[in-house]
A and B are shown apart, each in its own frame.
Chain A
C-alpha cells in the first residue's frame, strides 16, 4: 500500500509535468488549423428536449449504465459507439426503428435496461456510424492506443459548476446523455429540471490547450 502511494505521488507529479510540457509543446505546434470548436448553434436542442421530456423521466434513476460500460463500446473518447445488443441483419438502420427506442428512451424488457437517448436524432442513417458486433475475434492484432477519456469533476473551484469536458460536435443536447434513467451513472445530473444547462456549464474541452488571456496592444 505504501509502495502504491509512492507510485501515485510520482504518477501525479509526472502527470502534471507532462501536462505542462505537453501544453507548451502543442501550443507551438498547433497554430495552423484554426478549427472552430463552437457548435454553439446547437444549443436550441437542449430547450426542445427539455420541453418534451417529462420531469419524471428526467429525474428517473437506474444506475446500471456505468462509464466503464460506456467506454467499452468506444475506440477512443468521442468515437461512435458500437451497437451492444443484437440487431437482425435485415435491420436497415432505418431511423424509425432505431429512434423508436433511442429518440426518447424508455424501458426495454428484452434488455432489462433503459435505452440511452441519442443527442443527434436528426441523423437518420444510423448504421452509417454505428455497427453491431458479430464476432469478438480480430482479423489481425492491433497496436491501437488512445488517450484517457476526460476526467470528471474538473471544477475550477470547490463547488463551482464543472465545465463541459468534451467537444459539442454531435453532442449539443446535454439532457439526452446527462439526465434520465439511461444516463451513465457517473455523469448523470440531479438537477436537469433546471433546463438551461449552459447557463452554468461552459465548454472547456479537456483535450484542448487552455487559452490564457494576454493583452494585445
Chain B
C-alpha cells in the first residue's frame, strides 16, 4: 500500500480511534482484511449466477455501497440451495486485483500505449474494413467463449454472420463442449441434456465417466454425497484414468487405459444383451440401430475434413458387432478386469436401480468424443434408463454459459441461433429476425477453432477478435498458434479484464467489464438460463463485450441492426433472440421472468419449466399418447450406434513412453486469470505441478517436489513433481493442471481432434520424463 502524508494521518487517526473503541467495547476485534472506509455496515444482497463453472450455482453478492464485500450461496437457487465452493465463496475478490485492465491499449511501434476507448474502437472498425477489402470477408474472424454472456454471443453472431457475411465465428466451447453437442445430435437429433440436477437425488447409482466431480463440480458432488448419506443404498462409481479425490469418496474406483472407455462401454452393452437386461419394450418402440464410418482419422493435418455416413443396421447386426467386446477381450485392451466390467453392466442392467451417468471433459476432450457419447447413450437406451427422474445420461459443462451462449445461440461456424447455416429455412429465419438480406448469410461453414488458428498461422485469416478467453494458454500444440498470432500482417484484438498471455500477443486491448459489472445471462448444464444485473460499476473505461461489438458494428454502418440504447439493450437483445426458439421444444422464459428468478429452465412453456425432456409426463413438446418421444429425430426414435474402439492419435512408444493428461484443480478455474488473483485460492495452489506414479518416480530417481523435465514431440517443460499428492496416476501416466501461465503445458499437447465434433483431445498424448 502506498502511503502519502494525507492518508498516513487518516490511517493513524483511524487506528487510534479503533484502539480506543476496543477499550470501550471489550471483545471487539478486527479482521485481517482491509475495512471499507465509510461503510454503513449494512449489506444489500443481489442475486447472480456464479462466474465460474457450468454448474450454475446461484450466489448472493453482498454489496456495501458500490463495492462487493461478501458472497453467500443463494438459497432460492435449486442448483446449490445455498451452498458454494471455495471459488464461488471468494468469487467477488476476482473483481479487485490491482492489475485490472481499465484503459484501451493500442500497439504503436511495437509498444502498447493507452488510448481513449473510442479511438481503439475506431481502429478495430477500420482494420475490419481494410482487411475485408484486401483479403475478402473470410479473412476476419471472431473467437469468443463459453464465458460470453448470451447477449455477447448473440451480437457477435449477428454482426459476423448476418452483417459481415462470414461464418468465421467460433468460441472456446469448441475445445470444451463440441463432442457433447455432436453426441446429442447423432443420438437424439437435438442438443442438451434430457435430465436435470434433481436426477442426483433420485438416482440409486451414479457412474462418473472420467469426471473428477469432487474438484470440478464440487457442489453437485456434495449433493451426491448428501443423497448417499440420506438414502444409504446409493452407489457412486468412479471410472477414470487416474485416482483423484472423487475416487477416494466413491464406493468403487475403476481405472482404465486412456481411450479404452470406448471398448468398455461396448462391453457393458454386450453384457446387458448377454444377460437379457435389455428393456425390449423401450428398445422396440423408441430406438433404431445405426453404424457410421470407421478409421476416421485424427485431424492433425491442415485442411482435414470428414463427413460421417450413417447407415441403418438391424439389432442382430449390432449384436454381431458387439461380439468383439466380450469383457474378457476388453480386459486385455482396457486393463479393466472382466469382473469390474460385469459389475458396471450389472448396475446399469438391474431393473430395480435408477442409474445416472455423469461426464464432462474426459469424454468430450477425446479423439472419439462423439463416439463415446453415443456409446454411453447406448447403455441408457438399451436399458430404457433415460428421461425419467434418476435415469439420466448427463453431460456436464465446464463454463458458465457454454450451453447458454455457444450451444443455444450457436456461436460456432456452422450454427445459427436456430439451426445451421447449411439449411435454407434456417438462414431465412435468421435473415428475417436480423433484418439483413438472406444472401448475406453464407451457406458454407468455414473454420472450426483449431483450423481457424491454423488459418491465422497460414495467413488465410488476418484479423481475429478474441473475447473473454485465453487461447494462448488453452490451444493445444500452443507454440504453432502463438507464433501464428505474432506473424507480420496479423491483427489481434483482445477484450479482457486482466493481462494474460493472450493480451501479450494483442495489437489492441479492450478493457472489458466483468461478470456482474454488466447485465447479462448465462446458461448452465441443465438448460437453466440465469440473469444477472449490473451490480458493481465497472472501473475506468471498461465496457461490456456486447457493447464493444455494438460500437464496432455501428462504425461499420450497421446502425439499423444494432439500434438499442444503453439502458435497454440487454432486454431488447434477449427478446429478439428469444424469437429464434419460439417452439415448445426450446421456448425461453421472457426477460421479466428471468430477472425475478434465480434461473429458469427451458423449454419454458405456458409458464412452466421442463425438468425432463422427451417424456410426455414432463415435456409438453412430446406427442401425446406415447411414453417417450425423442422428437429431435423425425420418427421420434433415438439412435443406438455401433461405434468401435479405436486408439488415441498418439500413444506411448519406446521413445515417448508416458501418457500426458491435463486438467484442472478445485482452486483454479480455466486459465487461472481470475482465480489466481483471489488471495486464498492462489495461496492454496500457487503453482502447477506434474503428478507422477510413485513407482515411476522411484525409477526416475525423483522425489516429491523435485524438478522433472517433460518432453513431447511438440515441446518441453520443467516443473515440480507431485508424488502421492492430491491425485495419483497409474504407472505410465502423468497429469498436469493447465492453469499456470508459467508452465504452459499445452506447448506439449497435440492438436488431434474428434473428426465429427472437431474438439481437441487434451487428455492423451505421448511424453517422456527426465530428471531435471
Contact = CB atoms under 8 A, between A and B. Distances in A.
Interface string B707-726: 00000000000000010111
Given A125-B225, A147-B64, A148-B41, A167 B72 contact: yes
A55 interface: no
Contacts of A145: 33-37, 67, 69, 96
B72 A78 contact: yes
A79 B71 contact: yes
Interface string B31-52: 1111111111111111100000
Contacts of B25: 151-153
Interface string B71-110: 1111110000011111001100100111100000000000
Interface stretch (A104-112, A128-136, A190-198): A128-136
A71 B32 contact: yes
Interface stretch (A21-29, A44-52, A56-64): A21-29
Contacts of A147: 35-36, 39, 41, 43, 64, 69-70
A202 interface: no
Contacts of A127: 86, 214-215, 245, 666
DSSP class of A's interface residues: helix, strand, loop or mixed? loop
A100 interface: no
Contacts of B4: none
Nearest to B19: A4
A197 B414 CA distance: 62
A135 B680 CA distance: 10
A74 B31 contact: yes
Residue from A7, A21, A77, A145 whose CB has the most chain B CB atoms within 10 Å: A145
Contact of B82 (A66, A149, A169): A169
A169 B75 contact: yes
A13 to B, nearest CB: 12
Contacts of B40: 18-19, 21-23, 25-26
Nearest to B34: A145
Interface string B211-245: 00011001101100110010000000000000001
Interface in B674-730: 676-686, 722, 724-726, 728
Most chain A Cβ neighbours within 10 Å, of B30, B33, B71, B680:
B33
B439 interface: no
B723 to A, nearest CB: 9
Contacts of A206: 41
A35 B74 contact: yes
A8 B684 contact: no
Given A92-B245, A130-B86, A77 B70 contact: yes
Contacts of A163: none
B721 to A, nearest CB: 12
A89 B222 contact: no
B76 A35 contact: yes
Contacts, number: 252
B221 A125 contact: yes
A141 B14 CA distance: 23
B17 interface: yes
B226 A122 contact: yes
B249 A92 contact: yes
B123 interface: no
A93 B245 contact: yes
A: contact size bracket: 35 or more
A212 interface: no
Contacts of A135: 682-683, 686
Interface in B2-28: 13-14, 16-17, 19-21, 24-25, 27-28
B71 to A, nearest CB: 7
Given A94-B248, A148-B31, A11 B93 contact: no
A22 B679 CA distance: 29
A147 B215 CA distance: 30
Contacts of A160: none
Interface residues of B, number: 85
B683 A140 contact: no
A65 B21 CA distance: 21
A153 B20 CA distance: 17
Nearest to A66: B29
Contacts of A142: 93, 96-98, 677-679
A94 B33 CA distance: 30
A82 B680 contact: yes
Given A137-B686, A152-B25, A153-B25, A33 B90 contact: no
A77 B686 CA distance: 24
B62 interface: yes
B767 interface: no
B667 interface: yes
Given A19-B40, A138-B682, A90 B725 contact: yes
A159 interface: no
B345 interface: no
A170 B82 CA distance: 9
B360 interface: no
A67 B85 contact: no
Given A33-B47, A132-B684, A11 B85 contact: no
B62, B215, B680 — most chain A CB neighbours (10 Å): B680
B60 interface: yes
Given A7-B16, A33-B45, A142-B96, A71 B30 contact: yes
Interface string A1-18: 000110110010000001
A76 B33 contact: yes
Interface in B569-600: none
Nearest to A210: B42
Given A8-B20, A35-B76, A145-B33, A139 B27 contact: no
Contact of A76 (B24, B70, B215): B70
With most chain A CB atoms within 10 A of its CB, the pick from B40, B41, B225, B245 is B40
A140 B423 CA distance: 49
Contacts of A208: 42-43
Contact of B218 (A21, A78, A125, A167): A125
Nearest to A82: B680
Contacts of B683: 82, 131, 133-138
A169 to B, nearest CB: 6
B29 A26 contact: no
A80 B42 contact: no
Nearest to B725: A89
A153 B21 CA distance: 14
B591 to A, nearest CB: 15
A125 B222 contact: yes
A152 B677 contact: no
Contacts of B226: 122-124
B726 A90 contact: yes
Nearest to A71: B31
A169 B97 contact: no
B221 A128 contact: yes
Nearest to B222: A125
Contact of B684 (A26, A36, A75, A133): A133
A72 interface: yes
A146 B13 CA distance: 20
Nearest to A97: B248
A25 B722 CA distance: 52
Given A11-B21, A67-B29, A22 B70 contact: no
13 contacts: A8-B17, A23-B40, A79-B89, A82-B680, A90-B724, A92-B248, A94-B245, A125-B225, A134-B683, A147-B36, A148-B35, A170-B82, A207-B70
Interface of B: 13-14, 16-17, 19-21, 24-25, 27-47, 60, 62, 64, 67, 69-76, 82-86, 89-90, 93, 96-99, 214-215, 218-219, 221-222, 225-226, 229, 245, 248-249, 498, 666-667, 676-686, 722, 724-726, 728
Closest 6 CB pairs of A and B: A22-B40, A131-B684, A207-B43, A67-B29, A128-B218, A71-B31
Given A19-B40, A146-B34, A152-B25, 19 more contacts: A8-B20, A22-B39, A35-B74, A36-B76, A67-B28, A67-B29, A72-B31, A89-B722, A125-B214, A132-B684, A134-B683, A138-B683, A139-B97, A142-B96, A142-B678, A144-B33, A152-B27, A169-B75, A187-B27
